[in-house]
Amino acid sequence: MVATRHWSKYLLLNVLGVCIVVIQPSFIPTQAVEKEAQRTQAKLLTEKGHELLDRGRNSEAFEAWKQATKIYRKLQYEQGITGSLINESLALQALGLYPRACNTLLQALKLDKDSSICDTSLEQATDSESTTASLKAAIDKQKLTQVDLLGLQNLGDVLRLIGKLDTSFAVLDKASQIAKNLPTESKISNFNNQLLLNKANTLRSLYYQFKSKYQLTDEPETKQNALLKAQENFYLTLKIYKQLIADKESKTYIQAYLNQLSLLLEIEKWTNLTKESSQIITTEQSLQQLFKVLSTSKEKFQQLSPIESIYTRLNLAQSLTEINQNSKFKQLLFPQSSSLIVALDTAREALILSKELDNKRAESYALGTIGKIYDYLGQVTESKQCLETAIGLAQSVQAWDIAYQWQWELGRLYQQMGKADKAKEAYTAAINNLDKVRGNILAVSPEIQFKFKEKVEPVYQEYMELLLSQKNPNLKQVVSVQEKLKLSELETFLECGKLPVISLLDSQKLVDLPPTIYVIKLKNRIEVIVRTPEGNFYRHTKDFSLLSNSINSLLKGIQNKEITGIEESDLLIYSQALYNLLFAPIKKYLPKSGTLVFVLDSFFQNLPIAMLHDGNNYLIKRYNISTASSSELWQSQTLNPNKLKALIAGISEVSPSFQNPLVPRNFNALPKVKTEILNIKKNTTPDSKLLLNAKFTSEDFRQKMKDNPLTIVHLSTHGQFSSAPEKTFILAWDIPVTVKKLKLLLKTQRSGIDLLVLSACQTAKGDERSALGIAGIAVKAGARSTLASLWLVEADSTTKLMSEFYKGLRNGLTKAEALRLAQLKLMSDPKYSHPYFWAGFILVGNWL
């Protein structure tokens, strides 16, 4: 475990044996007494700020350093200004205000012309090669002092915390190169080692990022590339730790040792890496060597600053706890004793130090760690007391990222004790605090940002399992938890903060709410929950193994290029099986016709619900169908048939964007697109705009969006939906517009668009969660509803379906009704009756 809030940087100056205020101009006797007093005051304020930061009084530390900066500005002392601004950034980081800390460091380093590097908005939240190159060039032009190098080190750390990992590494690497070239007498003690440790931290975050990408995507190529990148960054991180360990006199020695230990334990959990690990010695050998040295190196803790000593001890305690959970390592390293006893003693030492320092955050972390260890030791009462106290301390300093973890642990503990009501209270509190963390995801450790599968998803899933295990479960609460989980998943996909949406459960905000069907995948089963228009909830449960074969077979069939050669009767075997398992048991709670809203777990989002078959008819024969990746939607609004102003864009020829490496080689020209968009123009208002072929460049599209308030945006062009954001795109004439760039093109539509239509796109083959990309595009576009296809459908039938769909809208039908009637029109035509032609079109979001 890397120190939870990266406190090592907060006392960086002390770690290096340097205090910024020491570097002051020599005292000149003729200077005014007032200036001497001001310098003294600035120095005292600087020291006071460090003392306050040590104790977790971050706002007060910031104010102290702000006053010091003001004095240095008055004295026109540049080194003092730079150092004091760096100090201010330390307090801002401690407050979780990372973008602001980043801008403060740029100001300190006189690099604020490149302030876009600190931008964490949706469209700027990822690295840009050009921005990184520009920043490096600006650094090269500066004449950097030792104080500036400290600023670069902190800038690298802050960039890591706001997710700019490649830029973070580039800045730290540049600082390292500059430091090596300083004259020997000018080198700061241990500075290069500290920079190496910072670089290892960034590489480790890159490892977590790619591991998370591997876990969260099902797109085969992206998954494989993520695995290779995770491996690469794991080995690079390990290499630096070994390099640091070689310098036994360095203050980073013990930190590097313990970080290596925790990294090796981490990699053991992820078998995909260890199976292919050939570049390093086995984990068992490494651990044995580590523990042999560690047992004789405990005095190294004394070399650390107090706050670093606390978190380094907790790092060790956490690793010892993990060793206890691995029988192989437990036998190898502690054959005669318990690693938990050593872990408990180590965590207690950290607790004593945190109390002496009066740092509530550190104290909470220490107490929570002790509480977990007591749980493993079977000392339930002691565990409960420690966890409850740790929660109170975390909440007292608004450390929600810590509080939710201890509430999660407390919920598990109460569940073990058979106290279901108490467990529910704890889980509810944990999720409420997770909501706060989601609202400012950049204010937490990258280990939480990039550990959705380990640190976020299980909290929601365990709580749902607990709720459903009750005799009369509160199904509304289950659905509410599922809503939060799916929304969190979408936010993770988009790498953004909390999205502004309205819950379907809040019936006061939505009129004429149709029946809503939630399909939730838990560990070994599927839960189908129905919410009726009256607000009643009903539940049906099926073993997952009964559905998985039918789902996989149906998805494999419908994504096949030669699907029209597969007999409809062969597909019916699976669509009828799924109907009987998922839908038939809840049929009695539903009206015989009307609109149904399906809220599907990610595993089911590629499933064409319209294809479910009761043995006589497809589901689409009876119902208008809308789907949602989450049951939380943007504000509901019915389309006005007299205000169907649209921007209609399409590509019918092979364009330059086809040559982009991102684009699959099997994309061909779409000659029928011209006919399709002309037909659509006839069914929208006369002031609708057309962009065809070379006129549909990304810039022309952006300009048309800017100049025209629109109801509908219709794109007849190739595109791909994937669970990997970088593989989710729409082709403009000149470039593929990825989901992350789409916001830039559409941001001029302040009120959002009512309907986004993507008529020639498809889901990525082999990607079971690719429909997440549809939801991602809808969010980026600010679209209340999105009509898209799960696979690339034959052009003539698509043209006919779209024409019928827009006729329906013009006639005042809801979007769901218009889509259904268009699908039925195709189905009634013998030429297009096969599900391939009509079942792939889905409406995501608002059905009105």
Quote the pTM value.
Answer: 0.87
How far, in Å, CA of 835 to CA of 823, rounded?
Answer: 10
Least confident of 36-45, 145-154, 327-336: 327-336
| pLDDT at 585 (0 to 100) | 96
H or E segment at 518?
A: strand 516-521
Domain spanning 502-633, CATH class: alpha beta
536: how many CB neighbours lie within 10 A of its CB? Answer: 11
pLDDT band of 10, cuts 50, 70, 90: very low
Q: Which CATH number fits domain 198-393: 1.10.20, 1.10.3470, 1.10.10, 1.25.40?
A: 1.25.40
Do 726 and 738 touch, CB atoms closer than 8 A? Answer: yes
| pLDDT at 277 (0 to 100) | 46
State the virtual CA torsion across 376, 380, 381, 384 in degrees, nearest 10: 70
| Surface-to-core class of residue 440, CB atoms within 10 Å of its CB (0-12 exposed, 13-18 middle, 19+ buried) | middle
Q: Which residues contact 91 (CB under 8 A, 6 or more apart)?
A: 49, 53, 58, 59, 61, 62, 65
Residues 574-621 have pLDDT tens digits of 999 999 999 999 999 999 999 999 999 888 888 899 999 999 999 999
How far, in Å, CA of 153 to CA of 179, rounded?
Answer: 11
Least confident of 94-103, 437-446, 533-542: 437-446
Provide the pairing of β-strand 537-543 with 632-633: unpaired
Least confident of 285-289, 360-364, 655-659: 285-289
| pLDDT at 180 (0 to 100) | 80
pLDDT band of 707, cuts 50, 70, 90: confident
Of the candidates 794, 257, 369, 290, the residue with the CA atom closest to the CA atom of residue 565:
794
| Surface-to-core class of residue 642, CB atoms within 10 Å of its CB (0-12 exposed, 13-18 middle, 19+ buried) | exposed
Average pLDDT score over residue span 124-141: 74
Q: How far is CA 424 from the centre of its chain?
A: 26
How far, in Å, CA of 786 to CA of 777, rounded?
Answer: 9
Using DSSP, state whether 335 is helix, strand or coil.
coil
Query: For residue 828, what are its two tokens?
Result: 């009634």
CATH topology of domain 646-845: Rossmann fold (3.40.50)
Of the candidates 237, 319, 238, 241, the residue with the CA atom closest to the CA atom of residue 1:
319
Do 573 and 515 touch, CB atoms closer than 8 A? Answer: no
Of the candidates 569, 562, 554, the residue with the CA atom closest to the CA atom of residue 603:
554
**Secondary-structure percent of the chain, ordered helix, strand, coil, rounded to 5:** 60, 10, 30
Residue type, 128: S
For the chain, the domains span 198-393, 398-488, 502-633, 646-845
How far, in Å, CA of 65 to CA of 733, rounded?
Answer: 52
Question: Is residue 822 predicted with pLDDT exceeding 90?
Answer: yes
Query: For residue 145, what are its two tokens?
Result: 């002092």
Q: Which residue has the higher pLDDT, 90 or 791?
A: 90
Cα angle 590-594-597, degrees, rounded to a multiple of 5: 70
| pLDDT at 22 (0 to 100) | 37
How far, in Å, CA of 85 to CA of 106, rounded?
Answer: 9
Q: How far is CA 675 from the centre of its chain?
A: 41
| pLDDT at 639 (0 to 100) | 85
Most confident of 106-120, 204-218, 779-793: 204-218
Bridge partners of residue 713, in order along the sequence: 647, 756
* CA 744 to each of CA 40, 121, 123, 185, 749: distance values in angstroms, whole numbers, following the listed order: 50, 11, 6, 50, 10
What 8-state DSSP symbol labels residue 633? E
Question: Is residue 570 predicted with pLDDT exceeding 90?
Answer: no
Residues 19-55 have pLDDT tens digits of 344 334 444 454 567 888 888 999 999 999 999 988 8
